[in-house]
Chain A
Amino acid sequence: MSERNKNATVQPRKVSNAQKLPGAESTKAQTKKKEEKKAMDKGDGLDRGKKSKPSDQLKLTEAELKENITKVLNTHNPHAPQNIVRFNYKEGVYQRVSVDHTAILFEMESNIVYQDSEEGRRLMLKQGLIKENEETDTAAESDEDRMKTPATPVEDGGEVEEAEEEDRPDSVASKADKKGVKLGNFFHFTDRATQTLNNPPRQINCQTAPPPRSIFSATANQWQIYDAYCEELQKQEKQKATLLKKETDKSKKGVLVTETQSTDLTEVAKETKILERMVHQNTFDEIAQDFKYFEDPSDKFRGQEGTLLPLWTFQHEETRGLSVTALCWNSKYQDLFAVGMGSYDFCKQGRGMIVFYSLKNSSFPEYVFPTTSGVQCLDIHPQHFYLTVVGFYDGCVAVYNLKKKSLEPVCKGTPKTSLLTNPVWQVRWQNDDIDNNHNFFSVSADSRVVSWTLIKHELISTETIRLSVNGGLSNVPDDEQLVNISGGTSLDFHKQTDHLFLVGTEQGKIHKCSIHYSSKFLKTYNAHNSAVYTVKWNHFHPRVFISCSADWTVKIWDDTIKVPVFTFDLMSAIGDVAWAPYSSTIFAAVTIDGIVRVFDLSINKYEAICQQLVVAKKKTKLTHIEFNPVHPVIIVGDDQGLVSSFKLSPNLRKTPKVQRGQELTLDPEAEVTKMEHILSWLSDIE
C-alpha cells in the first residue's frame, strides 16, 4: 500500500518533468528512479529503464489513492459454494443446503476423550475424588485443565491413570498439567486381553466309499434332438392307450423277439433289390448313360433319317422256346413293362408266362407269373397300375394283382359257351363303371367282343357285340351263322371318346363300334385282304387310326373316309404297329425280317425315316413293338423270347416347335393340326 502510494505520487511528477524538459533531467529524478527501480525490482524482469505502466491499469485520483482500505481475514472457505440447492421431496420445494466451511485437517479415532467436552467432564467427575487436591500451576490454559478426581475411583480408570502417569512422564511435562489423565470411552472401546488355555488340536478323518462313477458322453445334433422329441411323442401316445392293450402287446412281443434273432433275411429283401439294381447299373453303366443322355449327333448329317440305339436286352431263361406275344408299358412306373409269353404257332401250344421287367434291371425280371396256357394279350390298367389283365390261348382271361404276393391271378374267367379253344386276341381295360368296379373288354376268335366286370374277385362277362360278316346280328339260322362269323383279332378303344372302339377281324375288315350299340356296327371298313393284326387309334387326332395286317401292308385311315389315307407296303409280313405317344405323325412297324421301320408322315409320306435291323440272328421274327410313354425308348419283342430296347435318335422325335426357345412340350392341338394339315394336303391332291 505504501509502495503504491509512492508510485502514485512519483508518476505524475515524472510526467510533468517529461513534459517540461525531456532533456534536462535532474539528478533528483535520477536518484528517484533508482529508488523506484529498487522498490520495483522484485522479480520483475522487464525493462529497467522506464517505468512501464500497463495500459489497462486503473487510473485513480490522488484522493482515491490515499484511501485506506481495510482487508479482513475470515474463516470463510472461499471454495465452498454458497448457493447449493436441493429439492426436498417432503415439502416439494428447492431448499438451500448449507455447506460446512470447516475443513478438517487431521482426524484420529482413539479411545481418548477430550477433557473439556461434556463426556470428559463427566468422566472426570467420576474420577475426580482421588485427584481433587492436585492443582495445576501457572498454566496458559484456563481452569478446565484442572483435574477433578472423583471420590470413588473406578478401578479400571484408576489403573489406567496410574499406568499412564507412569508411562508418560515426558508427555505430562509437555502439557501444562503434570498429572494429565487420559479418559477412555468405556462404552465403545475397552482393551482387555486374556489368554485361554489352548487345547491341543486333533484331527478326525472319515472317508466314505466313493460313489460309483461312470463316464457319460453324448452329442447333441439336430437329429438327436428331433429323435428325442419323437420319442416323447410316442410315449405320450402310449399313455393314452388303455392298460389292457399294453399288456397284450407285451406278451406277444415276447414271443416274437426270439424269432428275430435268427438269420431272418426278409427285412433285407428291399435292400437286396436295390443293391442288385446298383450292381446292374454299374455293369451296364454305359447303357444307362446312353439311355439318359446320349443324343446321336450324326443325325444332323443324316438328313431326315434317324437311327435306333440299342440299349438293354431282356431275357429270362425260363422263357426259352416261348415268343413274345404281348408288350405293355406301365403308365405309372414308366420303367416297368409287362411281356406276355406264348406261342403263335398253332401246333406248339403249351405253357405261357407273364414277365415284368424294369429298365433298371435287365438281367432278372421283377415279377414272373407262369401260366398254364400261352398268353396272347396283355393290358395294364392305366389308373390302377397294379392290375393286369391277360388273355390266353385257351380262351380264358385272368386278372393279376401285382400288389399281392401270390402267383395266382386274382380271378379267372372262362368263356361261357364255347368248348373250342378260341384264343383271346386282345384285351383292353376300360374305365371303372358306375359302381367303381373294374371292367375290361376282350375280343376273341369266336367273334365275340365281351365285356367283363370284376365284382368282388369274380369276373362276370357280358357280351357286347358279335362280329359277323354282314355287320351285326342277323336272323340267320345257326349253321349259316357259323359261316358268317369272323373272329376278331384286335381291339382298340378311342383315346378321347370312351365308348367308341375299333375291332379288326380275321376277314380283314375293321368295324367301328360303340359300347352302347350292341347289335350294329357304326361303320365298317374293308381294310385288308387278310387278317388284321393290329388296330390302333392315333393318340392325338380323334379321327385317325392305323391298321396292319397279314397282307404285308400298313394303312392309315381317317374314320370318315372309307378308303385308307395312307398305305405302306412293307415287303414283309408285319408283326405289329404302334403310334408314338409324343407325336401324331410318327409310328413304327416291325416285320418278321427283323427290321424296325419308323415313319414320320410330316417329314416323309412315302418312306420310312428309319429302317434298322435290330436282331442278331437273321431268323428271328419281330412280333411286337411298344413306345415308352415318357422316354424316347421302344421295346421290341421277338419270337425267341427276347425283348430288346432301343433309344430313338433325335430325328425320329421331331415335334413341332411353337416358338424358338420355348420348351418342347407335347401340344396335343399342335399335333392335331399337324395331322389335319397332312390330311387336307391329301384331300387337296385328290
Chain B
Amino acid sequence: MVRIKLFNRSHVGFISVKKNVTFVQQAEVEDTLKRIEAREDVVGIIIVNLDGVYLRSTLDDALTAQYTKHLDRLTVMARSVVRNIDPEDDLTSLRLRIEKNDKHEIMVEVQYVFIIVRCV
C-alpha cells in the first residue's frame, strides 16, 4: 500500500494530463498480458496487489488462492534474505522450477507480486 501512495504522490497537481497517459499505458499493459497469456507455454497469470488480494487471474479460484498464499510467504522470506545481506537492495523477481512429473516454472515479480505458472 505504501508504494502505491508514493507513486501517486508524484502526480500531485497534474491529474488531468496523467490520466490520458495512464489509459494508454493501461491498454499497453493489457495487450502485453494478453500476449503472455496467448503463448502456448503459459498456463496462467495471477496479478496480486501488495495486500495479498488478487486482482486478476486466469486460473480458478482455489488454485489462485493456494498459489497466492504460498508464494506470498516465499517472497517475503526471499526479500528478507536479500535485504539482510544488503539493506539498500531489494528483491525484484523470483523464478521457481519444479522438476518432477509436470515440469512447471513459476515466475514472480515482486514489486506488485506477479505470478505466472508455466509448463516447460
Q: Residues on A close to B: CB < 8 A?
A: 221-223, 225-227, 249, 252-253, 255-257, 259-260, 263-276, 278-279, 282-283, 363-364, 405
Give, as a whole number of angstroms, the nearest-CB distance from B78 to chain A: 12
Chain A residues lying within 8 Å of B107, measured Cβ to Cβ, are 275, 278-279
Q: With an 8 A cutoff between CB atoms, is B73 at the interface?
A: no
Contact A275 B26 (CB under 8 A): no
**In the complex, which of the residues A222, A259, A272 contacts B84, with contact meaning CB atoms closer than 8 Å?**
A222
Chain B residues lying within 8 Å of A263, measured Cβ to Cβ, are 55-56
Give, as a whole number of angstroms, the nearest-CB distance from A183 to chain B: 83
Contact A225 B87 (CB under 8 A): yes
Chain A residues lying within 8 Å of B56, measured Cβ to Cβ, are 263
**In the complex, which of the residues B5, B12, B80 contacts A260, with contact meaning CB atoms closer than 8 Å?**
B5
**In the complex, which of the residues A269, A279, A363 contacts B116, with contact meaning CB atoms closer than 8 Å?**
A279
Contact B87 A222 (CB under 8 A): yes
Docked Cα-Cα span, A461 to B15, in Å, equals 38
Contact A253 B35 (CB under 8 A): no
Contact A271 B105 (CB under 8 A): no
Chain B residues lying within 8 Å of A267, measured Cβ to Cβ, are 3-4, 7, 111-112
Chain A residues lying within 8 Å of B80, measured Cβ to Cβ, are 221, 223
**In the complex, which of the residues B8, B28, B87, B114 contacts A275, with contact meaning CB atoms closer than 8 Å?**
B114
Chain A residues lying within 8 Å of B120, measured Cβ to Cβ, are 282
Q: List 16 A-B contacts (CB under 8 A).
A: A223-B83, A249-B9, A260-B5, A264-B26, A265-B29, A265-B30, A266-B25, A272-B29, A274-B93, A274-B109, A275-B36, A275-B107, A278-B107, A279-B39, A279-B107, A282-B105
Q: How many A-B residue pairs have CB under 8 A?
A: 106
**In the complex, which of the residues A225, A266, A278, A283 contacts B29, with contact meaning CB atoms closer than 8 Å?**
A266
**In the complex, which of the residues B12, B47, B88, B114 contacts A256, with contact meaning CB atoms closer than 8 Å?**
B12
Q: A269-B25, A364-B35 are in contact. List 20 more A-B contacts (CB 8 A).
A: A221-B84, A222-B84, A222-B85, A226-B83, A249-B9, A260-B5, A260-B8, A265-B26, A265-B29, A266-B22, A267-B111, A267-B112, A268-B112, A273-B32, A274-B92, A278-B93, A278-B116, A279-B42, A282-B41, A364-B32
Closest to B92 in A: A274
Interface residues of B in 37-96 (CB under 8 A from A): 39, 41-42, 47, 55-56, 80, 83-85, 87-88, 92-93, 95
Contact B111 A270 (CB under 8 A): yes
Chain B residues lying within 8 Å of A270, measured Cβ to Cβ, are 111
**In the complex, which of the residues B15, B22, B33 contacts A272, with contact meaning CB atoms closer than 8 Å?**
B33
Closest to A270 in B: B111
**In the complex, which of the residues B8, B15, B41, B93 contacts A279, with contact meaning CB atoms closer than 8 Å?**
B41
Docked Cα-Cα span, A272 to B93, in Å, equals 12
Q: Residues on B close to A: CB < 8 A?
A: 3-5, 7-9, 11-13, 15, 21-22, 24-26, 28-30, 32-33, 35-36, 39, 41-42, 47, 55-56, 80, 83-85, 87-88, 92-93, 95, 105, 107, 109, 111-112, 114, 116, 118, 120
Chain B residues lying within 8 Å of A278, measured Cβ to Cβ, are 93, 95, 107, 116
Chain A residues lying within 8 Å of B12, measured Cβ to Cβ, are 249, 252-253, 256
Give, as a whole number of angstroms, the nearest-CB distance from A284 to chain B: 11
Docked Cα-Cα span, A339 to B50, in Å, equals 39
Would you list the 9 A-B pairs with minimal beta carbon distance, nearest first? A223-B83, A226-B87, A271-B109, A223-B87, A222-B84, A265-B29, A272-B32, A266-B25, A256-B8
Docked Cα-Cα span, A260 to B50, in Å, equals 12
Chain A residues lying within 8 Å of B33, measured Cβ to Cβ, are 272
Chain A residues lying within 8 Å of B30, measured Cβ to Cβ, are 265
Chain B residues lying within 8 Å of A249, measured Cβ to Cβ, are 9, 12
Closest to B55 in A: A263
Contact A272 B21 (CB under 8 A): no
Docked Cα-Cα span, A282 to B42, in Å, equals 10
Chain B residues lying within 8 Å of A363, measured Cβ to Cβ, are 35
Chain A residues lying within 8 Å of B4, measured Cβ to Cβ, are 260, 267
Chain A residues lying within 8 Å of B32, measured Cβ to Cβ, are 269, 272-273, 276, 364
